[in-house]
A and B are shown apart, each in its own frame.
Chain A
Amino acid sequence: NAGVTQTPKFQVLKTGQSMTLQCAQDMNHEYMSWYRQDPGMGLRLIHYSVGAGITDQGEVPNGYNVSRSTTEDFPLRLLSAAPSQTSVYFCASRFILGQADTYGYTFGSGTRLTVV
């Protein structure tokens, strides 16, 4: 299993450009999510999905779109990049631990995005 794979690892965008951050998992996890990580802010939830065809907003959804057409893929789209979106982005999928209602997350290695 490759786990959670994110591409690209690094990206520089100009203000106003659009792009898609890719996320794929091969563990057949239903629940996937996107976070952004900024210094001193921890990780903040952008969007999440509980299964194919279902997405919902997290804590900081503005400026981002997601879709979930398959269980494996959960891309994050920046429609018109702004310098405030400079951050490290992590995709994660959720797995169930042995005990019922106990779960954890597997994170990708991140995409470092700079918007100039």
Chain B
Amino acid sequence: QQQVKQSPQSLIVQKGGISIINCAYENTAFDYFPWYQQFPGKGPALLIAIRPDVSEKKEGRFTISFNKSAKQFSLHIMDSQPGDSATYFCAPNDMRFGAGTRLTVKP
């Protein structure tokens, strides 16, 4: 059973642009929505997370927006930088990871 669907699989953005990654889930019992960032050769690292009692959370250039009725949450990276190039995973309740989105930010 696929409980988490992440899109797009890959994304190329110019420096300074906005990167948007989406995550759709099926399990309405999920109550914790984190995004993880993974650089090549490293383990994933928690980037930002949200609880369903709020619709948006911002930390620096990173924003999570949450749509409970649509069972979706998104990661927005403002002013994208080459150093943001990594693979991003959504992981509702940390039990099911999405397949990942490989982000490339071109200088």
Contact = CB atoms under 8 A, between A and B. Distances in A.
Interface string B70-107: 00000000000000000001010011111110000000
B34 A108 contact: no
A99 B53 CA distance: 13
Contact of A94 (B45, B94, B96, B97): B94
B62 to A, nearest CB: 14
Chain A binding site: helix, strand, loop or mixed by DSSP?
strand
A53 interface: no
B41 interface: yes
A101 B94 CA distance: 13
A106 B43 CA distance: 8
A52 interface: no
Interface residues of B, number: 23
Interface residues of A, number: 25
Nearest to B89: A42
Contacts of B98: 42
A102 B53 CA distance: 12
B43 A109 contact: yes
Interface in A69-95: 90, 92, 94
A44 interface: yes
Interface of B: 4, 6, 9, 32, 34, 36, 41-46, 49, 51, 89, 91, 94-100
